[in-house]
A = this chain, B = another copy of it.
């Protein structure tokens, strides 16, 4: 391969660096109105009365809309493909504006004004009287009988799930040791550079156009249609460049409301841009989990059974809800071989911001509990942590007993071997035995598996359209969204590779428009390269076949013996040049008899999945006195099949590991236990990793080829964020002998536990 596999500079690099790439806020629309939501200041209760009279008369205010003005039906917000099967549909528990408030920040009313400042002022002129209930912030509170339900009829249980595979009784009987422990993870926020922002207006035919920073234009269109109760084809969603999403924009946070608001002002454009504070408290967060894990092993460290119980707290609305707990359980199962495995989970409503999709989708939580627990077991058995993993990982060809996915490529063993080498595991392990100082070093490892897309749970449709110009260059359109991950570049490489033209002759349309772009479900589930890539490759193959067929007509040389290489039609057997591609493309545009410009408009229903694997190796130095954890070395080693663009892949790993480091050590949204008010909702208080906090990150890949993927590729987007936390936790354990089972592992927590365990 000439172009796939090369570190091409990303196609949007210059535009993004120079600031010429246009984001939602770069769009200037004359007459734009600005909306601000009036948000609940209590976590749980309902609005007894609302007074918008002062807001309405403020000069510059165009309209004030309250819960009284919105449709009464509820809608879902999660960015999942629609299913006609009601049991497979997302929970519809939202109104556009609500009288029943379920978290601090819930949207009660919206002000539309001629500018943002006026809207902000008017928002402050709204008065409400609440009836307030005690906030529900924990699983215990949620399940307390007799309290007002957050959503009527649910008992505050959004969903339950689980499975049991294998003969548990036999597996338990065969175990030499059984280990039980508990773990928990925290609430974190996506913190994409670009906040949630969208505007909407109406076309003169009554259709609603939404321009949004979204990962999922086609799904967003459907949800807006549902929310407003109008046919989905009456909605058009346009997605310009986007400043990150990380799953938060795989949800409809502002689009349904902004689409509704324009209908209340005769179709005038209405924009709603959440501030950073609003993005923290009123978008989506990562689900906090509580785990109880039980593992049986034989004395040689072979896993005999595993049993995980999970409680996921979902906040005030369903969003992706129970799906995340389910995914947590799936990856828990697929990680290792065992005789029997059991998973049970429930997802509870609480009075916190709704939890939704976030990079890893429940798997950072799953891997934190199981990879931490596994190290505890290894320690108890006096086994090397790498050794116990190598002993239990499944081989290539392993078939998942529940979803039937066969791992046709599995480089996890190579990842572990490579990581061990990179960090000089054995050498350091020996050197670091029996440390006693105040600064102690330790090594940690953690493994993960991750899927490429959502099959067979979810639909995996993707489309690609290619048109060839007179000069042989092409335009590529996809419905999948470039959200910073580099998919536009990867798709361009695939097209250039497949057709046989230089990359400079591939022009990708980066903006998605549901009126025009091929149908695609969007960017999530690490699906772009793998799922959309299949459609892109198919479209490029179709174009190539059409070119060669046409060339046959012009040259009398059979299509089967020709190829396209670097913009030339050549003989396949020896590469001899026949004619430049431009001669074919130009003829196909201009020949009075045969003209038929080459296009391909392809939809692909993938119906496959592939497991990506990998691991983190880390060396830390723990300052026992300050509780500070310094990352000395960190390596993420990935089996993501063929790496289409090594530099971009490395970038994904850097970003993901950085996110994983924050998850491990710093990030947490805190809420006042009495009132449910968020205590941290800005980037000053919320400890996001900065460039200065980030150590050098080693990104490495092993060579595998995934037969179901385009060019052998499989998922890479989310995996890097998964295992830094358990690897660091295990390294701290290695350094100090102290187990930390709750995230994040902040200095305060370390100090407290070091004191409790008598280290200081």
Contact = CB atoms under 8 A, between A and B. Distances in A.
A18 B204 contact: yes
Copies in the complex: 2
Contact of A595 (B14, B459, B592): B459
Given A232-B470, A233-B471, A234-B471, 6 more contacts: A28-B30, A83-B590, A232-B469, A233-B474, A477-B516, A592-B607
Given A222-B470, A470-B232, A596-B603, A203 B459 contact: no
Contacts of A595: 459, 461, 605
A601 interface: yes
Interface string A433-477: 000000000000000000000001011010101010111111101
Contact of A231 (B463, B471, B587): B471
B596 A15 contact: no
Interface size class of A (residues with CB under 8 A): 35 or more
A594 interface: yes
A518 interface: yes
Contacts of A515: 467, 475, 507, 509
A690 interface: no
Contact of A84 (B469, B472, B587): B587
Interface in A81-97: 81-84
B593 A603 contact: no
Nearest to A458: B592
Interface in A225-273: 225, 231-234
A84 B597 contact: no
A599 interface: yes
Interface in A578-607: 582, 586-587, 589-597, 599-601, 603, 605, 607
A274 B18 CA distance: 31
A472 B231 CA distance: 9
A634 to B, nearest CB: 34
A25 to B, nearest CB: 12
A205 interface: yes
A509 B519 contact: no
A574 interface: no
A741 to B, nearest CB: 39
Contacts of A465: 601
A309 to B, nearest CB: 30
Interface of A: 11-12, 14-15, 18, 20-21, 28, 30, 81-84, 203-205, 207, 222, 225, 231-234, 456, 458-459, 461, 463, 465, 467, 469-475, 477, 504-505, 507, 509, 515-516, 518-519, 582, 586-587, 589-597, 599-601, 603, 605, 607
B231 A589 contact: no
A597 B603 contact: yes
Nearest to A230: B471
23 contacts: A15-B203, A20-B204, A28-B30, A82-B586, A82-B589, A83-B590, A84-B587, A84-B590, A231-B473, A233-B473, A458-B592, A459-B592, A461-B589, A463-B599, A467-B518, A467-B519, A475-B516, A507-B515, A509-B516, A595-B605, A596-B603, A597-B603, A600-B601
Given A83-B590, A605-B594, A599 B518 contact: yes
A221 to B, nearest CB: 8
Contacts of A600: 601
Given A84-B586, A518-B599, A505 B233 contact: yes
Contacts of A592: 83, 456, 458-459, 607
Nearest to A267: B20
B603 A81 contact: no
